[in-house]
Amino acid sequence: MAGILALVGSSVPPPFWWASLMSSCWTGFGAVDSGSRIMGRWGESLLLALRSARRSGGLPWEETLHREVVVKLAMNAVGIGSAEILDGADGAWRDFVRDLTGEGESLEALRSEVASVRATGVGSMAPVRVLRLMRIRFVLREFLRSREHLTSDAERDVRHWAEQLAVA
């Protein structure tokens, strides 16, 4: 794993390289015993790869942010502590909202777009924008599935976002 971590810190590789790295990390993450120390190390490696791919411009956030949330929630659900997951599921929620708003998104603008898509369909929207909306709604569903790991305040926030973006 040390080799993977060393590679992630290098110059910006092409997208296929990031996809291969993430595939390897996903395989390692899913292949070990749930909750084990090794699972935690693979999870941390995957989180580092995802974050590095996004921040370096190697992959856009719609390809990385939802995966990051899934890994954090999975690690939290099986009790893996990590410096990558501060404050459990609540921290994962705050990180998601921070990263989303850091990309220039706002709940009101997203709500308006979802309403427009529901009224007129996706034909008038750029495919990358449709993908972003799909990923955001996917993440909200994942948080709703993990609500037992959220505090009541974080769960209320997740439910509010989900209602606003028509996530069932």
Q: Quick one: average pLDDT of 102-116? A: 89
C-beta of residue 15 within 8 angstroms of C-beta of residue 59: yes
Percent of residues, the chain, with pLDDT higher than 70: 92
pLDDT of residue 11: 62
CA dist 48 and 55 (Å) reads: 10
pTM of the model: 0.83
For residue 66, which of 39, 100, 21 has the smallest C-alpha distance?
100
pLDDT, tens digit (0-9, with 9 covering 90-100), for 59-93: 888 888 899 999 999 888 888 877 777 788 999 99
What is the residue extent of each domain of the chain? 1-85, 105-168
CA dist 5 and 138 (Å) reads: 28
DSSP state, residue 33:
P
pLDDT, tens digit (0-9, with 9 covering 90-100), for 33-61: 777 788 888 888 889 888 888 888 888 88
Length of the chain: 168
